A and B are shown apart, each in its own frame.
Chain A
Amino acid sequence: MSYFVNEKGYYGDFGGAYIPEMLYPNVEELRQNYLQIIGDADFQQEFHYLLKNYVGRPSPLYLAKRLSERYNANIFLKREDLNHTGAHKINNTIGQILLAERLGKKRIIAETGAGQHGVATATVCALRGLECVIYMGEIDIERQAPNVARMKMLGATVVSAVSGSKTLKDATNEAMRDWINNPVDTHYIIGSVVGPHPYPDMVSIFQSVISEETKRQLMEQTGNDQPDYVLACVGGGSNAMGMFYHFLDDEKVKLVAVEAAGKGVSSGHSAATTFLGKEGVLHGSRSILMQTADGQVIEPYSVSAGLDYPGIGPQHAHLFKVGRAEYVSITDEESLEAGLLCTRLEGIIPAIESAHAIAHLEKMKFTGGENVVVCLSGRGDKDLDTYSKYFGF
């Protein structure tokens, strides 16, 4: 069983490139060139140079002592929150900006939910001197204000997406419309493992540095590079795919993907895609998405802007369908409580997205001695407002 993309752009039944003809030339240009460009020695050197000296990689793998005691297992946190700009998103934007430059693009567009991908994109655009336009849902602009200010300071134009649910899905629609209307010179930096082929594969390759480092660090710290469990939260699924990547073919490693249940899976206010979704096409690929019987996309809900998406990447849909990874869900409240717990036990304020992954530890049973890696995808600075309101600080 292959867990990776085939030559047609599919993971099992999922993937493909369901795009209007207007996007075909750009997507096809990417498809024909991405592997060769990424494989280039010159690209690799520049990519790794920036990851090390600009982003601050490798990110630490930290054995969280007090969480470990609480859960009776060795809980390791993969500290993507310590990356420059505060989340894993920058691994992908560094990769894509280098690729865009090599394709001769002058203008960059991106969608963002929590604003982390928008900030990471605006950052690399400032770094390389490229024009940057970020689409963000009107509601997310309100709940992630610090990130909006950061993007503006970095020189990006932030465009408010006012259609539909005014969150990540709609920001993605607007970014796609922009790309349709600017068919030459523009590169669309998609922020997760979603979109038409080759995006899911390309983004997972850039994020795979997470599991590559984790294996090495586990070997150094424990003498064994095979953890028992690996956990990550899933919005579109990029930090999870980066965290899973080098463990996919090692069936002994159990993979756990944590979705946002919002107010509860059955509450009608949720973003738990694998529980509520059916197979379908959204944003250019065939995957699993939340939709009505008539194929209309259902507006998702989560307290966490980065997980507030009605679909998951096609590779996740495949891992779910064939059972390689377990998909679970965590409510708003559980995630906020886990965010506070992590803060009080370890002195680390996680992004609410990442707190979803931490929260699932509470539901797992350990016998002691298991090695468990949780991807701490981002830091919680952007979420202080939400935490403060909930806990009444």
Chain B
Amino acid sequence: MNRITQLFKEKKNNILSIYYTAGYPGLGDTVAIAEALQKAGADMLEIGFPYSDPVADGPVIQATSKQALDNGMDLNLLFEQLKELRKNVTIPVLLMGYVNPVLQYGVENFCKACAAVGIDGCIVPDLPMVEYEEFYKDAFLENGLSNIFLVTPQTSVERIHKIDGLSNGFIYLLSASATTGKNLEVSDTTTTYFSRIAEMNLNNPTLIGFGINSKETFNKACKYANGGIIGTAFVKALHAGYLEENISEFMKEFTS
């Protein structure tokens, strides 16, 4: 059983997953941030590998991606750095990024490299379900990787069931159809949508992401799903030279 499945088996609520960009703020910070996050109480990590044209991202994550690329991050270097990941980090770790770098690395090679460094799953927002099924799924499963699909308020019930059938890990519920970094506004329509999903009795657990930036919004996410994912708010809190302090300070609000 991979670490993601294990986590959701052991913990049903208040799961806190943190996204950050590999190679930001400093090129060599990737594993140090993972270790600090685990120490500060994160349940799961999503490490972003940067891409030049991140269409699903708002200005903050665009800027971290650009900085990481300018710093010299690429997939080869990331996998090199991640050889150190499992020395101390025991929580589940996913990689998140766009499909083109994966294609250039080679799907098989990418999946093998993930498995070799102890990555448990991937989130590739612009990889369509049909392509995944046809060309990626076998490589993912052979290497013990979960593929995480996104669901938005506009995703049809039929499609959610299909996604549930293909998922092995959890389903990533977007609070709204939005690029990353928009504030989560919990209106009647979002609560109806979250409740609708909660009532579908999906096989996979769910996490709510996009726009969680406070204890209050995190609690709302936990009310409707197994937990929440924080990205933009977290990377905004990182400042070179003060990573440990930044991270423990940031995490206090959510783990207290």
Residue numbers of A with Cβ under 8 A of B are 8, 16-22, 24-25, 163-164, 169, 173, 176-177, 180-181, 183-184, 278-284, 291-297
A sample of 13 inter-chain contacts (CB < 8 A) reads: A20-B56, A21-B152, A163-B66, A169-B53, A177-B179, A180-B55, A281-B98, A294-B74, A294-B75, A294-B101, A295-B75, A296-B52, A297-B53
Interface stretch (choices B82-90, B126-134, B230-238): B126-134
Contact A295 B152 (CB under 8 A): no
CA distance in complex: A25, B152 (Å)? 10
Contact B125 A20 (CB under 8 A): yes
Query: A18: which B residues are within 8 A, CB to CB?
Result: 99, 126-128, 131
- Does B151 interact with chain A (Cβ within 8 Å)? yes
Listed residue (B105, B128, B179) with the most chain A CB atoms within 10 angstroms of its CB: B128
Contact A183 B152 (CB under 8 A): yes
**CB contact between A22 and one of B75, B101, B102, B150 (< 8 Å): that residue:** B150
- Does B178 interact with chain A (Cβ within 8 Å)? yes
CA distance in complex: A17, B129 (Å)? 10
Contact B51 A295 (CB under 8 A): yes
CA distance in complex: A163, B56 (Å)? 14
Q: Which of chain B's residues 93-134 have a Cβ closer than 8 Å to chain A?
A: 98-105, 125-128, 130-131
- Does B71 interact with chain A (Cβ within 8 Å)? no
- Does B174 interact with chain A (Cβ within 8 Å)? yes
Query: A279: which B residues are within 8 A, CB to CB?
Result: 103
CA distance in complex: A281, B100 (Å)? 5
Contact A297 B99 (CB under 8 A): no
CA distance in complex: A283, B69 (Å)? 19
Contact A24 B126 (CB under 8 A): no
CA distance in complex: A292, B74 (Å)? 10
CB closest residue in chain B, given A26: B154
Listed residue (B103, B126, B159, B174) with the most chain A CB atoms within 10 angstroms of its CB: B126
- Does B168 interact with chain A (Cβ within 8 Å)? no
Query: A280: which B residues are within 8 A, CB to CB?
Result: 100, 103-104
CB closest residue in chain A, given B74: A294
Contact A281 B128 (CB under 8 A): no
CB closest residue in chain B, given A21: B150
Contact B100 A164 (CB under 8 A): no
- Does B140 interact with chain A (Cβ within 8 Å)? no
Q: Which of chain B's residues 46-75 have a Cβ closer than 8 Å to chain A?
A: 51-58, 62, 66, 69, 74-75
Query: B150: which A residues are within 8 A, CB to CB?
Result: 20-22
CB closest residue in chain B, given A22: B177
Contact B76 A294 (CB under 8 A): yes
CB closest residue in chain A, given B159: A24
Contact A180 B56 (CB under 8 A): yes
Binary contact readout B236-249 vs A (1 if CB under 8 angstroms, 0 otherwise) = 00000000000000
Contact A183 B126 (CB under 8 A): no
Contact B178 A297 (CB under 8 A): no
CA distance in complex: A173, B126 (Å)? 13
**CB contact between A296 and one of B101, B159, B174 (< 8 Å): that residue:** B101
Query: A297: which B residues are within 8 A, CB to CB?
Result: 52-53, 100
- Does B220 interact with chain A (Cβ within 8 Å)? no
**CB contact between B152 and one of A22, A169, A173 (< 8 Å): that residue:** A22
**CB contact between A21 and one of B69, B99, B130, B174 (< 8 Å): that residue:** B174
**CB contact between A19 and one of B76, B128, B178 (< 8 Å): that residue:** B128
- Does B149 interact with chain A (Cβ within 8 Å)? yes
Shortest Cβ gap from A171 to chain B (Å): 12
Query: B74: which A residues are within 8 A, CB to CB?
Result: 292, 294, 296
Known: A16-B128, A169-B53. A180 touches B100 (CB 8 A): no
CA distance in complex: A47, B58 (Å)? 37
Contact A164 B174 (CB under 8 A): no
Contact A180 B178 (CB under 8 A): yes
Shortest Cβ gap from A11 to chain B (Å): 15
Contact A173 B53 (CB under 8 A): yes
Query: A282: which B residues are within 8 A, CB to CB?
Result: 53, 100
CA distance in complex: A294, B65 (Å)? 14
Contact B62 A181 (CB under 8 A): no
Contact B55 A21 (CB under 8 A): no
Shortest Cβ gap from A296 to chain B (Å): 4
- Does B201 interact with chain A (Cβ within 8 Å)? no
Query: A296: which B residues are within 8 A, CB to CB?
Result: 51-52, 69, 74, 101
Listed residue (A163, A291, A293, A294) with the most chain B CB atoms within 10 angstroms of its CB: A294
Contact A25 B131 (CB under 8 A): no
Contact B105 A295 (CB under 8 A): yes
- Does B223 interact with chain A (Cβ within 8 Å)? no
CA distance in complex: A203, B248 (Å)? 52
Contact A22 B56 (CB under 8 A): yes
Shortest Cβ gap from B111 to chain A (Å): 16
Contact B75 A177 (CB under 8 A): no
Contact B126 A20 (CB under 8 A): yes
Query: B57: which A residues are within 8 A, CB to CB?
Result: 177
CA distance in complex: A22, B126 (Å)? 10
CA distance in complex: A376, B58 (Å)? 39
- Does B155 interact with chain A (Cβ within 8 Å)? yes
Query: A184: which B residues are within 8 A, CB to CB?
Result: 154
Known: A18-B126, A180-B55, A294-B101. A25 touches B179 (CB 8 A): no
Shortest Cβ gap from A49 to chain B (Å): 34
CA distance in complex: A283, B54 (Å)? 10
CA distance in complex: A231, B154 (Å)? 43
Listed residue (A173, A292, A296) with the most chain B CB atoms within 10 angstroms of its CB: A296
CA distance in complex: A183, B56 (Å)? 13
Query: B104: which A residues are within 8 A, CB to CB?
Result: 278, 280, 291, 293-295
